[in-house]
Amino acid sequence: MPAQRLHKILAASGVGSLRAMEELIVAGRISVNGKPAHVGQPVSPADIVRVNGQIVKLRWQQRAPRVILYHKPMGEIVSRDDPEGRPTVFAHLPRLGSSRWVAVGRLDFNSEGLLLFTNAGELANRLMHPRYEIEREYAVRVMGELTEEHAAKLKAGVELDDGPARVLSIRDGGGEGANHWYHITLPEGRNREVRRMFEAVGLMVSRLLRTRYGPLTLPPQLKRGQQQELDAAQVKALLTVVGIKGGDAGASAAPGAPATGGDEGSDDSDDSEPNGNVIGYQSSNEHKAESWSRMRGNFDTVVAPPTRRGKYPGAGATRGGPRKPKGR
């Protein structure tokens, strides 16, 4: 079997993201055959790799990854350990034995909605990396009225302390007064990005719910605190959408390894571990959007959301939530 680069086989084995592996190598926390490793070092099945002193079993023949959709309620953190002892989303996930779940994206303590988990580091990286511009859709309740001027500013882009940010689309979700909802789509995820963008135009978000991540939509029947695992056909379709060939996504994250994803410090900061080695789309933004829309349509034929009305803002008219405007 041909040798592979150390950081790539570690990520493919689910140990962590590509960038996280590079950082651990530079920090001297990864060794090969008892000697400090270096970035780009080739390794083979005969080599013994240790992370933080623990031997890691690399997956040279990759198994199909597992993917879980979880409806995160408010009041839970996306972290395994919390000094305050608050509830964690990981408590609801099935055990993986010798591996661990990697959180794809984040939602903060007071945010809710769709949260993805996988045991494949490369798949997590493809879904989170900003260069792939995987769309995220949110239902947002704001204090005050979102005017056409506000919407134009959000679409054109607002300046945040970590750079410009914009929304791809905004549509009225219904409601009145302090209970007015809007549906927005973003091409990336950054630390509290949705809330900060609305603050930049003078509005405050009072509730935030993620309804879609890429081609995966929060199922209307999935209640808060419940999780649903994709079947083999759905996982295969997802791998195709993000451009991963069969078997390249990896699986079985090592139990002692760092996981991508993160804690409750942000509601949309699901790209905190960007990796410059990942090759993204090379086409124009318009072509990216068109290609992604087409791929999403193909994926929806495999993972089609239920047609009945659900109990969350993105699923249709609900009491106290967004209502479909008349005439649409």
For residues 20 and 87, what is the distance between their CA atoms, to the nearest angstrom? 26
Query: Helix 148-156 to helix 193-200 angle, to the nearest 10 degrees?
Result: 130
**Residue 320 domain-assigned (yes or no):** no
Q: Annotated catalytic sites, by residue?
A: 108
**Residue 322 domain-assigned (yes or no):** no
- The answer to whether the beta carbons of residues 134 and 127 sit under 8 Å apart is yes
**Residue 61 domain-assigned (yes or no):** no
CATH of the domain at 128: 3.30.2350.10
- Whether residues 147 and 209 share a domain: the answer is yes
- The answer to whether the beta carbons of residues 292 and 299 sit under 8 Å apart is no
Q: What is the pLDDT along the chain (328 residues), one digit of tens a residue?
A: 678 899 888 887 778 878 889 999 999 999 999 999 999 999 999 999 999 999 998 877 667 889 999 999 999 999 888 889 899 999 989 988 667 898 998 898 999 999 999 988 889 888 988 888 899 999 999 987 889 999 999 999 999 999 999 999 999 988 877 788 999 999 988 888 999 999 999 999 999 999 999 999 999 999 999 999 999 999 999 999 888 875 455 554 444 444 444 333 443 343 332 222 222 222 233 334 443 444 444 444 334 333 333 344 544 333 344 444 444 4
* Predicted pLDDT at 25: 95
For residues 311 and 34, what is the distance between their CA atoms, to the nearest angstrom? 55
- Whether residues 200 and 236 share a domain: the answer is no
**Residue 327 domain-assigned (yes or no):** no
What's the Rg (C-alpha) of the chain?
20
**Residue 328 domain-assigned (yes or no):** no
pLDDT tens string 216-234: 999 999 999 999 999 999 9
- Whether residues 226 and 127 share a domain: the answer is yes
Query: Helix 285-300 to helix 232-241 angle, to the nearest 10 degrees?
Result: 170
Q: Which of 13, 29, 55 is the last residue of a domain?
A: 55
**Residue 213: CB partners within 8 Å, gap ≥ 6?**
104, 105, 114, 116, 127, 134, 135, 136, 137
- Whether residues 26 and 146 share a domain: the answer is no
* Predicted pLDDT at 234: 94
- Whether residues 123 and 259 share a domain: the answer is yes
* Predicted pLDDT at 286: 39
Question: Which residues form the domain of 49?
Answer: 4-55
* Predicted pLDDT at 311: 40
* Predicted pLDDT at 262: 35
For residues 99 and 14, what is the distance between their CA atoms, to the nearest angstrom? 8
**Residue 230 domain-assigned (yes or no):** yes
- Whether residues 277 and 220 share a domain: the answer is yes
- Whether residues 38 and 178 share a domain: the answer is no
- Whether residues 294 and 241 share a domain: the answer is yes
- Whether residues 126 and 241 share a domain: the answer is yes
**Residue 21 domain-assigned (yes or no):** yes
- Whether residues 294 and 284 share a domain: the answer is yes
* Predicted pLDDT at 250: 53
pLDDT tens string 21-52: 999 999 999 999 999 999 999 999 999 999 99
Domains contained in the chain, number: 3
Sheet holding 54-55, edge to edge: 35-36, 30-32, 49-51, 54-55
- Whether residues 223 and 82 share a domain: the answer is yes
Q: How far is CA 117 from CA 69, 135, 231, in A?
A: 7, 17, 14
pLDDT tens string 256-297: 444 444 333 443 343 332 222 222 222 233 334 443 444 444
**Residue 321 domain-assigned (yes or no):** no
- Whether residues 151 and 192 share a domain: the answer is yes
CATH of the domain at 46: 3.10.290.10
